[in-house]
Amino acid sequence: MGSGEYSPLFETRRGRGRLIYRTFAISLFVSICFIWVYRLSHITRNGEDGKWACLGLLGAELWFGFYWVLTQALRWNLVFRQPFKNRLSQRYENRLPRVDIFVCTADPEIEPPMMVINTVLSVMAYDYPPEKTSVYLSDDAASEITFYAMLEAFTFAKHWVPFCKRFNVEPRSPAAYFNSDPNQTKELKAIKKLYNEMERRIEDATKLGGVPKEARLKHKGFSQWDSYSSRRDHDTILQILLHKNDPNNSKDVDGFVLPTLVYLAREKRPQYPHNFKAGAMNSLLRVSSNISNGKIILNVDCDMYSNNSQSVRDALCFFMDEEKGHEIAFVQYPQHYENVTKNDLYGSILVSVSEVEFHGADGYGGPLYIGTGCFHKRDSLCGMKFSDQYRNDWKIEDDQFIEASFQKLEEKSRALASCTYEENTLWGKEIGLKYGCPVEDVITGLSIQCQGWKSVYCNPPRRAFLGVAPTTLSQTLVQHKRWSEGNFQILFSKYSTVWYALGRINFGLQMGYCTYGLWAPNCLATLYYCIIPSLYLLKGIPLFPKMSSPWFIPFAYVILGETSYSLLEFLFSGGTFQGWWNDLRIWLYKRTSSYLFAYIDTILKLFGYSDSAFTITAKVTEEDASKRHYKEIMDFGTSSPMFTILATLALLNLFCFLSVLKDAVLREGGLGAYEKMVLQVLLCGFLVLINLPLYHGLFLRKDNGRLPRSTAIKSTALALGMGLPNFTVAMVILLNLNAVLGIRFVIDREECFSHNVQYGGDRVHASFVVIQVDSGWQQYTQDGVDLMVKGPSGDRIQDFRDKISEKFEFVARDSGPHRFCFTNKSPYHETIDFDVHSNHYSYFDQHAEDEHFNPLLEHVIKLEEALFNIQYEQHWLEAQTERQAIVNNAMSSRAVHKAILEAAALVGASFLQVYLLRRLFERKLVI
């Protein structure tokens, strides 16, 4: 082919409107410089108190300006890629390389087997030669049920794969396709019936917690669990389920070869580190090199099913391009989710990252590797350095592959997944994914780019992969804590973006990496801006220029300019106005909670006080939480130090803003007194407005997704302690919190209540007092009530008979709703005061390793529970006191009534006696 006839396999085009944006960015930077000048020249003009506040604001504004400059690198040079699959087919259809697909799972409870096998089936059905496709599932939980699900999946694949090719199905995840409501043809009904039967068998095994005996006897692979002790102590479990050298099982119902399918649970021992997902990926690299040895590797998370059957061919357009393909190490697809609502309540899509910033990084040599939806060149992933002499040689791949029976391949490959294989080797250091960082994917991609390779960002109109996004605020914040902590740790690692990457990658890309690496330190400046201006608003000390001052202009320009640009960027990326507002809220929540804990943990790790662990984001959502998610109602639902911080900041700004409104109404001059503090009032008002879901969750909501009462109490006290001890409105709110510590109801015959226990093993405290019996004469009766407590499965836990009051506790065996049913056997209505709450003292035992919370926070939580127990005890005593008062009043009333009746009886007897005596004497006189 002559050079004049060359047609590239992909096209690169620059983003439009670059000149307009660059002009705007320069003007914004000039305004930021004016703000710095203002702050430096006005530090000493507000008195000693205001001086220190302004110094802090200067530090925060210097940081914001510096960080803003870093983010411009990802918007300065946007590029967009367009692959040409038809050209690929014309040139290389008979020489397409082998592709190994890695699917990773780690916990069958939060990553259900049905979700895992839907992902596996979707990648098995790619529009790609099946004899050149191999799918590997790494199961770090070594779950028999997941293995059983894989056996069911490969049987179903014999029908599903030809069905997809015959009818050009999209997407090729069975669950996603059936939920898309396709036309109910005869073939579809038949395949859906097979899927439902498979799903029923897997769900039954999951509920029973074990594999059916018939299935265990049917497949020899289950014998590998004979030496199984626990998730962290077992031999290598390797099973080649489908292989072309096994003619009995390798073909589908149409007689065509199916992709190779392999199940792997690498060996684990307690005395050996297993390095989480990075260790699993490295084991797959070694095992796959012995079984299929594909030159291209795709890795996806178990919840990221394939939504586009052409994704492999799109990626190969970059790798196999004759002019630039040899320098490309990996092709990264964006991370998108199928369960995100219209307005993306938790900002899960990260619109600015996926639709703008990664395109900007691509303009400087390629995006980050984000751990899923990424196609790798095996050579680069295994540590090879790039050189100008390197060229792709797709022709000799078949000659290098050694044919062998799958039984021998199994035996030989098991040793490659042993926990001792990597000892005294470069695995995890210079070969494979890097160890020692919570975001092993990012640091691995950075090290590959530092070795001279480039990467490509492919963002086609049809999403390549769709996953499951967090559906609660807690899951979102925990996920971002891990990401920000890992990115911050990279700055201090061997592969630091500051010194190691200097000169090895493009400076613009280096700035882009620093943008994510400095997520965590953003917490300090953001927290300062959320607290100090509001507190000084109460003191009447202005920290910003007044509206009539020329210095007000740069502040107004930066605020309006940056806000308008972020809104337009979000809308042009396909978002909505409400979605932008939600994204802004989550941006604030992350900076004041997730990033703060990530920053603290990283600093502690540097000084040797903590270690990092990998946190798996839950993929299972309770039914009530799911309903709230799709209704776009923010779900808190648990107690967390992060929520305490968020609630405290929200209440602090609310109290400050209400104080301003109070002064505007009551003080002489009204709002005119705040003319010099307009920006402070606007900032405080913005923080109040954006925190509306927190106020709703603290005081108004009654569902299980609300914030716990203990969080409301503690955050209110903390907000008051930060500077509002005499604020009347706040004190009223605090005093009225006792009203929600229990419920009071009138019972006729029977009343039942439910209390949701978050974790099995929690200690539940409950109490009730019969306050009043509404008998006709207000007489006190000794008749009590019956109470029966039942667990989630209906088992009886407690049973009280004829009790006037009782205070008790028990340990919940299972999580879920516990029912408390009262029965009134008296003929009168009775008023009952009832209180219940649960303590979860094992919270840090279960999550401290994942969350890396400061040990001090554990004591804070325990103190919180102790204080709540005191309030719980006080509430019960108050109810008893009130009951006793009612009893005393009733007894006093009865005594008065008795005295009156006795006096009336005596008077009546006296009158009767007089009457009878008179009649007696009258008769005597007549005689």
Active-site residue, from 100, 441, 601, 833 = 441
Clarify whether 398 is annotated catalytic. Answer: no
Tell me how far apart the alpha carbons of residues 361 and 358 are, in angstroms, rounded to a whole number: 5
CA angle centred on 745, ends 744 and 749, rounded to 5°: 150
> Is residue 822 within a helix (H) or strand (E), and if so which, with residue range?
strand 816-824
Check residue 584 and give left, alpha or beta (phi > 0: left; psi -120 to 50: alpha): alpha
**8 Å CB contact between 122 and 305:** yes
Q: Report, in angstroms and rounded to the nearest whole number, the Rg of the chain calculated over CA atoms.
A: 35
Tell me how far apart the alpha carbons of residues 598 and 480 are, in angstroms, rounded to a whole number: 9
**8 Å CB contact between 770 and 881:** no
Active-site residue, from 100, 107, 139, 140 = 140
Q: How far is CA 304 from CA 339, 709, 802, in A?
A: 12, 36, 56
**How many other C-beta atoms can be found within 10 angstroms of the C-beta atom of residue 829?**
14
Q: Which positions ≥6 away from 253 have C-beta within 8 Å?
A: 158, 159, 162
3-class DSSP state of 12? strand
Edge to edge, what strands does the sheet with 336-337 contain? 305-306, 465-467, 336-337
DSSP state string for 719-786: HHHTT-TT-HHHHHHHHGGGGGSSEEEEESSEEEEEEEESSTTPEEEEEEEEEEEE-TT-------EE
The DSSP symbol for 327 reads G
Return phi, psi of residue 458, to 5°. -115, 115
Q: How far is CA 756 from CA 280, 407, 638, 820, 869, in A?
A: 36, 51, 11, 11, 18
Clarify whether 601 is annotated catalytic. Answer: no
Sign of CA dihedral 617, 619, 624, 628: positive
Return phi, psi of residue 227, to 5°. -95, 10
Task: Give the distance, in angstroms, between the CA of residue 864 and the centroid of all CA atoms in the same chain.
Answer: 24
Q: Which of 246, 249, 227, 245 is nearest to 236 (CA)?
A: 227
**8 Å CB contact between 770 and 785:** yes
Angle between helix axes 85-92 and 311-319 (nearest 10 degrees) is 70
Task: Give the distance, in angstroms, between the CA of residue 910 and the centroid of all CA atoms in the same chain.
Answer: 85
Q: Which residues are catalytic?
A: 140, 441
